[in-house]
Structure 1
Amino acid sequence: MLPTSTDVLVVGAGPTGLATALTLARRGIDVIVLDQQAEPPTTSRAAVVHAYTLEVLDRIGVAAPLVAQGVRSPRFTVRDRDRMLLSVPFHELPSRFPYALLVSQSVTEAVLTERLADLGVRVRRPCRLTGLEVTADGVLAQVDGEALRARYVVGADGLHSTVRQAAGIEFDGVSDAESFVLADVRVDSALPGEEVALFLARSGPLVWAPLPDGVIRLVAAVETAPAAPDVAYLQALLDERGPARRPARVTEVLWGSRFRVHHRIADTFRAGPVLLAGDAGHVHSPAGGQGMNLGICDAVALGTAVADVLDGGPESLLDDYTARQRPMAEDVLSFAAGLTRLAAVPPARRPARDVLLRLLGVLPPARRKVALRLSGLSHRERTPS
């Protein structure tokens, strides 16, 4: 059975919810984490943790064990088949983590869950939030027919957030505009083993990202994605969009799926004692690998603000959270949409696009600016240490 009360109820046990709970638990705040799934997923979409996110995770003691399980990518490249259009160096980043860490989201969740367990907090599964009422001293939540009182509730329950809907927060934007296929595969390839590559092709973009144990994550925009892409389908994508002189060969599909992209943002990340973080507050294109990273940054900022308030700080700290993180989300949405448009430039304009990208590649200030933006370090000044 659930306890009847807690300081903070976190709904959703993805990276955002787990990082929020861990930030609170490290401060001695009583927190309950719920998730409606009976088991954590073993396959997941996000595969990159950027430098700024690692700095944020380091504050809650998670960066080191996560880095130990990932692939450190020193650069991000943009290619047109065999032509290198742009190389973005991560190894020059002004950070203790001068790389992009390539690691499955399921591993990120496992590391966060383990750290929470060390502090005596376990995820309660399967538990479904069925009602939420704001009261004079917080919220009254209904969880599978049981009443649970909390000072604050955090919605980290994704695109279709029950918390956001119960709070009446609008979630405006465009849905189902783009279809993507993604898969973890094994390949025979001459491409560098630690380099993330974005292939720009007439039929759409293809992302190539190496994961631990020789696994390659492929993500591609397609007209109609199959529910379970097989070797033949993924090989055709690589033949059409990937390297031509030395083609990569798919030897095994470990896992595959599909999804549609939404571009939405909540009107606010706070409605009284109800707070939003991660995909419950903002969703966008996977271009640039920004989604999970922004959610984790939301989580630590929110967990810190709530802990400060519960320790006697002013309620205005929660308004500061939404005032800081929502513009950051708007900026990331715009950046991800821009990368998507870059990949989808009409054929007549592609030569100009390619010239622009090559020009960026030979101008150190421009190359550095792109690296800071992709890594999230351009947002560093917005979030207090």
Structure 2
Amino acid sequence: MQSWPGETEILIIGAGPTGLALACALRELGLKPLHFDKHLEGLNSSRAAVIHPRTLEVLEAIGVVPTLLQEGLRMEKFRLREGSKVLLQMDFSPLPTAYPFALMIPQQDTERILMARLRELGGEVIRGVELTDVKMEREGVKALVRRGTEEHWIHARWLVGCDGGRSSVRQRAGIGFEGEPYEQDFILADVKMVWPLRRDEASLFLSPEGMMLVAPLPGDHFRIVATVAQAPQDLSLPFFQSLVDRRGPSGAKRITEMFWTSPFHLQHRVASSNFLGRVLLCGDAAHVHSPAGGQGMNTGIQDAVSLAKPLRRAALTGDEAGLREWSKSRHRIAKEVISLTHRMTLAIGLSQPWQRVLRNMILGVISRLPGLSQKFARKLSEIDYR
């Protein structure tokens, strides 16, 4: 087994976008965290596909925005539709930010860019290492990690869990995860297809059988996300073609290639605490929710980058006031995001005819009041969380 230090100031578990963003932010501040991930590079699941304006603002601190902008696809408009009928349009271009658009880029590309930046800063992720136990101590945490058949205890003054919704850090630290699962399944696919709508907009289609999101990606690709009562075992091209034909707009719609598919079961939950003793939680380890609005990865990255400065202060001076303030703020934001995405999920999933008529009437009123649609755009862009 590789020889690691028996102790470290900061130990990060998890190297998805959240963990990588935290490691970069700490390196920018002169700290050198020890960083483990149980997956080999490039093998983390890749579901997120959008970076919102507030996240781009936050990522300026670690120097990756120019590369992200170069590789991503800028999307200024988001439309809710029923077939070809537009129920509501949101325009990001008037938003008061240097980045008045959503940036469409697959999660694996975001991770690759963050990993390259971490290496530029002198950091690295030790992979194939799994956290198996945590012992809380007054002056830190003892973490038992395993690679293959070998185990090793490491003492860390601070342990940060960025290891997803099934977080070993959260579970081993005994932190609760309150909430419940959604009844429906979600499925997604990355495809190349003939599509009748513009490539500078994402469209969320509402139908009695469920919703379908179609969003453009770089390289003439599209991301399809849909709800189904039960995900089939075979997520084939004909299955997604039938879905697009039934739920999509009029006009030519033909999937020509399918690159990746995945079913997933979602929950809406929030950790009872994101700061317990010397354990901190960021991203999905602290909160999970519906993919409505593409909030998950964005909220996690913002958790991570905003943690770096108060964690540095605590590590260097012992002053934890900043961490307490960070914990309170990010816990509040997580609950707001969960509430927003849950309400969106319930609204788009209405199946009774009278419910859909009432919902569509309300969306029509919102669409005629620019102030309301812009307020919703601010929420989705997360700039209200500055």
Verify same fold: TM over 0.5: yes
The answer to whether the 8 A contact 1:239-1:247 is kept is no
The answer to whether 1:153 aligns with 2:173 is no
Partner amino acid for 1:203? E
1:67 to 64, 69, 77: 69
Q: Structure 1 198/112 Cα, relative in aligned 2: closer, same or farther at 3 Å?
A: same
Aligned match of 2:33: 31
1:96 to 95, 98, 105: 98
CA distance in 2, matches of 1:319, 1:181: 38
CA distance in 1, matches of 2:318, 2:200: 45
User: Shift in Å at residue 304 of structure 1?
Assistant: 2.1
Aligned match of 2:371: 365
The answer to whether the 8 A contact 2:313-2:320 is kept is no
The answer to whether the 8 A contact 1:9-1:32 is kept is yes
Aligned match of 1:210: 216
Aligned match of 2:138: 136
- Which consecutive residues of structure 2, in runs of 5 or more, have no partner in the other structure? none
- Aligned alpha-carbon RMSD (Å): 1.3
The answer to whether the 8 A contact 1:7-1:150 is kept is yes
Q: TM-score, normalised by structure 1?
A: 0.96
CA distance in 1, matches of 2:169, 2:114: 22
CA distance in 1, matches of 2:266, 2:283: 15
| Greater mean deviation of Cα atoms: 219-228 or 24-33 | 219-228
Could you report, residue by residue, the CA deviation over 1:277-336 in whole angstroms, capped at 9, with x for unpaired residues?
000110010000001010001011112220122232621211111100011000000100
Aligned match of 2:88: 86
Could you report, residue by residue, the CA deviation over 1:213-238 in whole angstroms, capped at 9, with x for unpaired residues?
00000000001113451111001111
3-state secondary structure, aligned to 2:71:
coil
Aligned match of 2:204: 198
Aligned match of 1:314: 319
Aligned match of 2:336: 331
CA distance in 2, matches of 1:172, 1:136: 26
Q: TM-score, normalised by structure 2?
A: 0.96
| Structure 2 counterparts to residues 1-385 of structure 1, below 5 A | 1=2, 2-41=4-43, 44-144=46-146, 145-244=151-250, 246-312=251-317, 314-345=319-350, 346-380=352-386
Percent identity between the two aligned chains? 40
User: Shift in Å at residue 143 of structure 1?
Assistant: 1.3
CA distance in 1, matches of 2:315, 2:168: 24
Q: Structure 1 227/176 Cα, relative in aligned 2: closer, same or farther at 3 Å?
A: farther
Could you report, residue by residue, the CA deviation over 1:83-113 in whole angstroms, capped at 9, with x for unpaired residues?
0111100111100000000000001111111
User: Shift in Å at residue 29 of structure 1?
Assistant: 0.9
- Which consecutive residues of structure 1, in runs of 5 or more, have no partner in the other structure? 381-385
CA distance in 2, matches of 1:167, 1:225: 33
Partner amino acid for 1:102? M
- Runs of at least 4 residues of structure 1 off by over 3 A? none
Paired residues in the alignment total 379
CA distance in 1, matches of 2:234, 2:49: 19
CA distance in 1, matches of 2:138, 2:173: 15
CA distance in 2, matches of 1:356, 1:119: 50
